Structure 1
Amino acid sequence: MHSLHPTPKFSIITVTYNAEKVLEDTIQSVISQTYHHVEYIIVDGASKDGTLAIIDRYRPRIHTVVSEPDKGLYDAMNKGIALAGGDYLCFLNAGDCFHEDDTLQQMAHSIHGNELPDVLYGETAIVDKDRHFLRMRRLSAPETLTWKSFKEGMLVCHQAFFARHTLVEPYDLKYRFSADFDWCIRIMKKARTLHNTHLTIIDYLDEGMTTRNRKASLKERFRIMAAHYGLIGTIARHAWFVLRLVTRH
């Protein structure tokens, strides 16, 4: 007898705004998955380019489409959470793709026993705009993940972090750049079982954040780490970062 694997339903959420250049690859990577317990949700911020025309082309394969103004990325992601009905939520940004056509199938197969883990996670490959492999993500997923793992930074890419629907909370909109970092930590604090799939899950499009946003994002991450891990320890771990901030002003 075969050991039966559970067949969880995945809610894949893509948030878009003027993403016509990169969205089609993302949609195709979702609808070409060999695993069929999937609902695909696209939350668009009222794009003014050809984004909606692309979405319309694939409309029959997309479970839910919303297009309306929002208060930014994480507000749109919260709308996606409210619409999702799957066992796991995955946020796949426009431009990012699943690593292979059977990635979700492989993820489901990596689960043993009848209990669904609270979090599924894996690795991320960095690709260029032609989808050519550049390198693996600099931070790699730890063998065993806990909420304390992120003291070392965001060791698992947000897109390669699948959370059980029952644990999911809205993103905290007071963070404009790094709410995903805080969100993952909050979920891990509640999670009992975090399952390493040992798979490369995501091909992440290397666009590079603007330096200005990068600085704001690092400051925010520092605040998030201090909130979850305590100020003293966070300062100790980031002495160089604090020094740089202080000497710059």
Structure 2
Amino acid sequence: MNHNTPKISIVTVVYNGAQTIEATINSIINQTYKNIEYIIVDGDSNDGTQDIIKSYESEISKWISEPDKGIYDAMNKGIDLSTGDYIWFMNSGDEIADLTVLEEIISANPGSDIYYGDTVMIDSDGTEIGNRRLAPPEHLTWKSFKKGMLVSHQSFIAKINIIESYNLSYRFSADFEWCLLAIKRAKHITNTHRTLSKFLDGGITKQNIIPGLKERFRIMSKYYGLIPTCYNHIFIGIKFFYFYTKNKRF
């Protein structure tokens, strides 16, 4: 691996995303950093998504379209197709924060196992709503997630050799465990101190907030213990209520 210009595999998972996929594609193919392998995994869309993908085919390294067993199955297909040194998931509707993100973070801290940063929420028109409810910690360790998923999956770039497949026994929160395990394996983690992604509000996680939180509780109990997880949820709940009261969103 060339530490100065490692290959970054960026994977976009989409199903019937004709209204959102183009903004995602443009945020990736127009990056000033050029050693990008761009992969799109489409779940056999029937709303015109495939036509949009085809219109950008010359800018896309690989793309497939076939039925899947859910978002994490599709993301596992993306992992299998990736040949880069790093992997970054930027799913339909989400965008890289600006066009110089990759060039700047890689050149500033070459060779890190993980790069992480903040996330801005956007609505369906691409208008910024505000920062994500949970802010990234100054120093990220696997124990940081005791307080919740402090780093958004869209603002988490990991070396391919420290990640594994998503656990398909979780339907809504497999990304929590996936990031946690990558952090446990990482030796050098870089806080980029910048916003890395724009996250489309109202996605699958928010649409399934209760089952997603139940899965996340199970994962936290598995890695941190039941009693500490129950204790930490007191403070998680207080912060959640305060944020919702102040911002009328979560």
TM-score under structure 1 normalisation? 0.90
Cα 1:210–1:109 change in 2 (3 A) is closer
Could you tell which deviates more after superposition, 38-47 or 98-107?
98-107
The answer to whether residue 176 in structure 2 is matched with residue 178 in structure 1 is no
Q: Structure 2 CA distance, aligned partners of 1:41 and 1:82? A: 11
Q: 1:97-149: per-residue Cα shift (whole Å, max 9, x none)?
A: 1111111111212215xxx1111101111122222222111111111000000
The answer to whether residue 188 in structure 2 is matched with residue 190 in structure 1 is no
Q: Structure 1 CA distance, aligned partners of 2:206 and 2:90? A: 23
Count how many residue pairs are aligned between Structure 1 and Structure 2. Answer: 236
Cα 1:128–1:234 change in 2 (3 A) is same
Q: Structure 2 CA distance, aligned partners of 1:182 and 1:216? A: 15
Residue 41 of structure 1 aligns to which amino acid in structure 2?
A: I
Match of 1:64 in 2: 62
State the percentage of identical aligned residues: 50
Which of 143, 150, 156 is the matching residue for 2:151?
156
The answer to whether residue 235 in structure 2 is matched with residue 237 in structure 1 is no
Could you tell which deviates more after superposition, 116-125 or 202-211?
202-211
Which of 89, 92, 105 is the matching residue for 2:90?
92
Q: Structure 2 CA distance, aligned partners of 1:25 and 1:239? A: 38
Cα 1:209–1:135 change in 2 (3 A) is same
Cα 1:165–1:35 change in 2 (3 A) is same
Q: Check conservation: 2:172, 2:205, Cα contact below 8 A.
A: no
Unaligned runs of 5+ in 1: 243-249
Q: Check conservation: 1:5, 1:111, Cα contact below 8 A.
A: no
The answer to whether residue 140 in structure 2 is matched with residue 142 in structure 1 is no
Unaligned runs of 5+ in 2: 238-250
Q: Structure 2 CA distance, aligned partners of 1:218 and 1:120? A: 25
Q: Structure 2 CA distance, aligned partners of 1:143 and 1:90? A: 21
Question: What does residue range 1-249 of structure 1 map to in structure 2 within 5 Å?
Answer: 6-112=4-110, 116-207=111-202, 213-239=208-234
Q: Check conservation: 1:87, 1:165, Cα contact below 8 A.
A: yes
Q: Structure 2 CA distance, aligned partners of 1:59 and 1:219? A: 39
Q: Check conservation: 1:178, 1:217, Cα contact below 8 A.
A: yes
Cα 1:207–1:167 change in 2 (3 A) is same
Question: C-alpha displacement at 1:210, in angstroms?
Answer: 7.5
Could you tell which deviates more after superposition, 202-211 or 28-37?
202-211
Question: C-alpha displacement at 1:239, in angstroms?
Answer: 4.8
Match of 2:247 in 1: none
Look up the SS of the partner of 1:13 in the other structure.
strand
Match of 2:241 in 1: none
Question: C-alpha displacement at 1:236, in angstroms?
Answer: 1.8
Structure 1 consecutive aligned stretches of length 4 or more whose deviation exceeds 2 Å: 207-212, 238-242
TM-score under structure 2 normalisation? 0.90
